[in-house]
Amino acid sequence: MAMDNEEVALATCNLFQAVYDSLSGADSRVYGKEEALVLDSSKDLKTILLKLLDMIVNKKVSGHGRDQALNLLSRNVPRKTKKDSDHSKSLFTIDHGLKKILKVCGQVPELPDQLPMTENTQLIASVLLNKLYDDLRCDPERDNYRDICDEYIKSKFDPNDMDKNIHAMNTLSGLMQGPYDVGNMLVGRQGVMEMMVALCGSEREVDQLVAIEALIHASTKMSRASFIITNGVSLLKDIYKKTKNERIKIRALVGLCKLGSAGGDDYSMRQFAEGSTEKLAKQCRKWLCNPTLDVRTRKWAIEGLAYLTNDADVKDDFVEDEPAMRAMFELAKSKDKTILYAVACTLVNCTNSYEKKEIIPEMVQLAKFSKQHVPEQHPKDKKDFIERRVKRLLKAGVISALAIMVKADSSILTDQTKEMLARVFLALADDPKDRGTIVAQGGGKALIPLALEGTDNGKIKACHALAKIAATSNPEIAFPGERIYEVVRPLVSLLNTERDGIQNYESLVSLTNLAALNDKLRVKILKEKALPEIENYMFEEHEQIRQAATECMCNLVCCKEVQERYLEDGNDKLKLLILLCGEDDEKLQIAAAGGLAMITAAEKKLCVKMTKVTEQWLEILQRLCIHDNPQIQHRGIVIIFNMLEADAELAKKLMETEILEILTYIAKMEDNPKKQGGIDAARACLSKAMDLGLIKPFTQ
């Protein structure tokens, strides 16, 4: 794994993972009748962890090998879920290896005698630090983690050794990209911010590079940004204007970009003068489109845009610049995956898909009265501007870039990045006209992993985007092959009372489309325990949700298991279906009558049962048969035919009612293409009644 060959290092990492899974019991595959049992593998597992921790600080290990060692630690040390009781591996790793991970974070490739690294190494180390911190369960454990980091940073600050100082600064940068709370606490230590500002003024290029990057990461907090606006803006402007080194120039620009966006999308909280942010963004776009610059330098141009696109003027200018958008998408597909977070941020800003708090007019008036600050919306953040930006992004090929980004290794593609990608997909899928483009460019396939992994909020957004696509597209085209079965679980997860009504509705519509395809899919929907939820929504007061649930049930009744549920005594499922046939909403009537027609054709016992569950059955059937809508009328007459076929006594009872007159009237009607289904069904009913001897042909 230490070899300087990416493919060999990755293959060895996969082998190591198989060994680890086998020893830890995570591999649940069956290998035959005889199994070799290791009674206690904990010692072996700890040995592996120690070796991996030694490996990440070994100079003989290549950058690719170091990345894979960090990946193995990320996959196997933190608990998979918070419910797991064993987090001893995290404590073991922190006690034996936290300083080693911090050492990797602090490596500065420009200095001599450094560990071999790739573009992604620091970010992978930061992700591991974050996962270890998140896995801790109590304050004493978190305090211990912070103390180790604090001690490590303090030990590196040395007024006589500039190399050690910038190592400490780079370590802080790594922490602020990982467990931000820890990094933020350490940056707040006396003298740290002053040291950053002082290093920015150093004559040595590497000092300026590291200090400006640390300053950029530190100014995420508004309080820190205020300090730097006061103490560092003029310094960054001087560096930007005076230096001829593009690498330093672009980082200084990003520092200015970040400080300029400290007010977020609040129009009234602009940090710089009108037009300044647009000038900064223009320069970022210019660097982004410059193919002579290396990928790492162009990456910083995207970082700048990630901050500046909080400004609606900037995002509007950016989507009008198609070469800049295409350049960003091409960089997102490159090997340097540290770019992904900045690209995702930029896209979230351009589509306005970030979380927005609902503004209550009364609260705004109260805030103004009490002289509190009230956020203002930029005129270009209104719906029609957002829709225009979405169209431009789709035209520039954003979907293919997103599809490649989703495939990135989980050590780089953090849960937060996945959530942002899911938000972007949901914004892009808002207009039904655009969903065909999303499907054609692989968006449906890319959404499935986002719907299954990541933050709860991110998974909900991805599931909702899947529901939008499956609701209006042919599911067999959107999710070809076996992938169509993977979509069911995400869609069912939206059938929850905690979800929004629109999410419930679009999930039901998409499940209706899936249930219409084949019995295997219907069984899959039942296995995911969707049936009770669908039945609950058939009682929903909201007309569209109730209609969608009834349509879904209409397609599911073809399934044997569903029919058996209707046969069970002691439930009102059949009664509900009959009563829904009597509602005034025509679409609801079509769905309910269609379901009743199909289920009574499949299960003859239900024909007799429906006369016992409610006294209104005959009145509702008559209303169906005389309905003006030919579709409803046809379904009602088919139900009558099923009842005539099911039981002789029931058939006799029916022919003694007004049903006979209604059927006779319809059967005598002239052939009419619009009503032909009902006319033919009425003639079939009368023919069946004659066969049973209940009526005789009329002769003059």
Q: What digits encode the pLDDT tens for the residues 107-163?
A: 988 888 889 998 888 889 998 998 889 888 888 989 999 999 999 988 888 878 888
Taking 60 as the threshold, does the pLDDT of residue 359 lie above it? Answer: no
Q: What is the mean pLDDT of the chain?
A: 83
In three-state form (DSSP H/G/I as H, E/B as E, the rest C), the secondary structure along 120-166 is CHHHHHHHHHHHHHHHCCCHHHHHHHHHHHHHHHHHHCCCCCHHHHH
What pLDDT sits at residue 85? 65
Taking 90 as the threshold, does the pLDDT of residue 61 lie above it? Answer: yes
C-alpha to C-alpha distances, 451 to 239, 421, 473, 490, nearest whole angstrom: 44, 11, 18, 6
Q: What's the pLDDT tens digit per position in 171-195?
A: 998 888 888 888 888 887 777 877 8
Degrees, nearest 5: CA angle 462-466-469:
140
C-alpha to C-alpha distances, 636 to 129, 562, 578, 632, nearest whole angstrom: 65, 21, 11, 6
Domains 1-25+41-79+87-189 and 558-692 in one fold: yes
Query: In the predicted model, what is the mean pLDDT of residues 88-102?
Result: 86
Taking 80 as the threshold, does the pLDDT of residue 481 lie above it? Answer: yes
pTM over 0.85: no
What DSSP designation does 381 have? G
Q: Which of 236-245, 261-270, 376-385 has the lowest mean pLDDT?
A: 261-270
pLDDT band for position 34 (50/70/90)?
A: low
Taking 70 as the threshold, does the pLDDT of residue 9 lie above it? Answer: yes
What pLDDT sits at residue 379? 63
Residues 6+ apart with CB under 8 A from 105: 122, 125, 126, 129, 170, 171, 173, 174, 175, 178
> Are the C-beta atoms of residues 153 and 203 closer than 8 Å to each other?
no
The residue ranges of every structural domain in the chain are: 1-25+41-79+87-189, 310-355+376-459, 558-692
Within 10 Å of residue 32's Cβ, how many Cβ atoms?
Answer: 5
Q: Which helix (DSSP H) or strand (DSSP E) does residue 649 occupy? A: helix 648-655
What is the C-alpha separation between 658 and 674, in angstroms, rounded?
Answer: 24
> Are the C-beta atoms of residues 259 and 233 closer than 8 Å to each other?
yes
The CATH number of domain 558-692 is 1.25.10.10: yes
pLDDT, greater one: 257 or 329: 329
Taking 70 as the threshold, does the pLDDT of residue 5 lie above it? Answer: yes
Within 10 Å of residue 292's Cβ, how many Cβ atoms?
Answer: 7
* CATH of the structural domain 1-25+41-79+87-189, one choice from 3.20.20.450, 1.25.10.10, 1.10.1200.10, 3.20.20.480: 1.25.10.10
Taking 80 as the threshold, does the pLDDT of residue 93 lie above it? Answer: yes
Cα 393 versus chain centre, distance: 19
Q: Give DSSP secondary structure letters for 582-612.
A: TSS-HHHHHHHHHHHHHHHHH-THHHHHHHH
Q: Which two tokens stand for residue 248?
A: 């330093």
Query: In the predicted model, what is the mean pLDDT of residues 410-415?
Result: 76
Q: Which two tokens stand for residue 170?
A: 């780079």
Q: What's the pLDDT tens digit per position in 210-261?
A: 888 887 777 665 555 566 666 667 777 878 887 878 788 888 888 777 776 6
Burial class (CB within 10 angstroms; exposed 0-12, middle 13-18, buried 19+) of 373: exposed
